[in-house]
Amino acid sequence: MKICLMIVVAAALAGNSWALDKCSVVEAFRNSGLAGIKGYKLEDFVCLAYHASRYDTSLHRSPTEYGIFQINSYWWCDDGKTPGRKNWCRMPCTDLLDTDIEDDVRCVKRIVSDPNGLEAW
């Protein structure tokens, strides 16, 4: 799995872009075991990543949204400044802004295990 993610990273860096292509995203998500989590299909996560960030792993659109999934700093990660933050993924938000999406996927698995599932977005 790490090898696949490193290939995705290398491909993204070779193009001097933090945005991944759809095929790389599908492969990385498939290899990370996202398909079937809590009854969601792989396509659900690919669609979420596309609409959240256009597969841009470095996107920090608002003060509280980070990475390819635009994960919120109030509930899921620690940005060091959001008052009352929960950090339920137990990670700094800056970890969501690189091309290593393994930690992003780990956090998404935690998010969908919440009773709200993908409705968290």
- CB crowding 20-50: b at 16 or more within 10 Å, else e: beeebbbbbbebbebbebeebebebbbebbe
Residue 61 pLDDT level (bands cut at 50, 70, 90): confident
Rounded to two decimals, what is the model's pTM? 0.82
Strand partners, 19: 56
For residues 52-76, average pLDDT: 96
Residue 110, domain CATH: 1.10.530.10
Per-residue confidence (pLDDT) for residue 11, from 0 to 100: 45
Count how many domains the chain has: 1
Domain range holding 30?
2-120
Per-residue confidence (pLDDT) for residue 119, from 0 to 100: 87
Q: What is the mean pLDDT of the chain?
A: 88
